[in-house]
């Protein structure tokens, strides 16, 4: 869209943006209707991922209520914490009477991986205002992060549109809450839905996201190293450290292979 035809909105946008250069050509001002489009895209591209999350939300609701949390407490956790693995863990820890400090520290350790995700998104959001960043951060869960980073990379533009992540995070939030609610209400009358085989929904979803991205030998090597590291550590050490260590091993492999590739190209 031509910036000149959108000058009025561009002016309004600029007031919101810090240190905006006086041209209409910067990404944030480029397309106001583009924001609505990116929001819709965010919803659309997150939809398949939502399939994988529903069984986990249901299972969380069921297990939390069976573990002794009230429906209100179960839902409050989905609204405030909004992080599947740590909610499962906390529900189990509450049931076995673990002290508060251990629960909170364990939650932090399980979620440390979000730091890497935030770092990975940050170059695409470097022109997004801090207020927006703080809002978007709340909705950054595994699925919205992965959907969004994939989208930003496909766009191959230096900045990502924050409305995409907003929509993705919002959809995940609503679905996570709704699934927890249904699970909590069904509570004592159904068995753990993950035992039916629905636990495979999540890895299946991630698999369909990963496969199209493995387009070179180098990326194959990165995936192989991360897969071996993650699986070995998952079996050997408790907690979620396996994800962070696998990411370090995978990215290290990528960087080293990249450097070696450049070296041999020069020769």
Distance from C-alpha of 175 to C-alpha of 185, rounded to nearest angstrom: 15
Helix boundaries (H) for the chain: 7-16, 27-30, 32-66, 71-80, 84-95, 100-111, 113-121, 130-138, 142-155, 162-186, 201-210, 217-236, 241-266
Distance, in Å, from the CA atom of 50 to the CA atom of 83, rounded to the nearest integer, reads 14
Which residue's CB is nearer to other proteins, number 8 or number 97? 97
Nearest approach in angstroms of CB 183 to other proteins is 17
Identify the H or E element spanning 126: none
Q: Quick one: 5 or 216, whose CB is closer to other proteins?
A: 216
Query: Taking the complex as a whole, how short is the minimal distance between the CB of residue 25 and other proteins, in angstroms?
Result: 20
Burial (CB count <10 Å: 0-12, 13-18, 19+), residue 107: middle
C-alpha to C-alpha distance for 36 and 164, rounded to whole angstroms = 9
The one-character DSSP state at 190 is S
**Closest CB to other proteins among 192 and 199?**
199
Q: How far apart are CA 75 and CA 178, in angstroms?
A: 9
Other beta carbons within 10 angstroms of residue 108's beta carbon come to: 10
Judged by CB, which is closer to other proteins: 3, or 51?
Answer: 51
Smallest distance from other proteins to CB 229, Å: 8
C-alpha to C-alpha distance for 169 and 211, rounded to whole angstroms:
23
Q: Which is nearer to other proteins, 5 or 203 (CB)?
A: 203
Select 11 or 154, whichever has its Cβ closest to other proteins.
Answer: 154
Least distance (Å) from other proteins to the CB of residue 136?
7
To the nearest whole angstrom, how small is the minimum distance from the Cβ of residue 44 to other proteins? 11
243 Rama sector, left if φ>0, alpha if ψ -120 to 50, beta otherwise: alpha
Q: How far is the CB of 106 from other proteins (least distance, A)?
A: 9
């Amino acid at each position: 869209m031509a910036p000149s035809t959108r000058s009025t909105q561009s002016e309004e946008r600029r007031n919101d943006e810090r240190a905006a250069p006086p041209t209409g050509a910067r990404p944030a001002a480029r397309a106001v209707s583009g924001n609505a489009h990116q929001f819709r895209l965010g919803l659309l591209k997150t939809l398949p991922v939502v399939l994988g999350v529903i069984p986990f939300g249901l299972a969380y609701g069921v297990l939390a209520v069976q573990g002794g949390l009230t429906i209100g407490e179960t839902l409050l956790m989905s609204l405030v914490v909004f992080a599947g693995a740590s909610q499962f863990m906390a529900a189990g820890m509450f049931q076995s009477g673990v002290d508060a400090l251990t629960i909170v520290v364990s939650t932090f350790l399980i979620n440390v991986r979000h730091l890497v995700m935030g770092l990975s998104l940050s170059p695409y959001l470097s022109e997004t205002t801090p207020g927006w960043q703080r809002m978007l951060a709340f909705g950054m869960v595994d699925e919205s992060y992965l959907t969004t980073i994939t989208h930003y990379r496909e766009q191959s533009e230096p900045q990502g549109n924050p409305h995409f992540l907003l929509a993705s995070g919002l959809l995940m939030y609503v679905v996570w809450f709704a699934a927890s609610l249904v699970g909590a209400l069904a509570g004592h009358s159904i068995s753990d839905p993950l035992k039916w085989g629905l636990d495979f929904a999540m890895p299946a979803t991630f698999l369909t996201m990963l496969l199209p991205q493995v387009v070179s030998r180098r990326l194959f090597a990165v995936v192989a190293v991360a897969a071996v590291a993650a699986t070995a550590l998952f079996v050997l050490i408790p907690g979620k450290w396996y994800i962070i260590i696998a990411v370090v091993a995978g990215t290290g492999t990528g960087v080293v292979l990249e450097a070696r590739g450049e070296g041999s190209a020069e020769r």
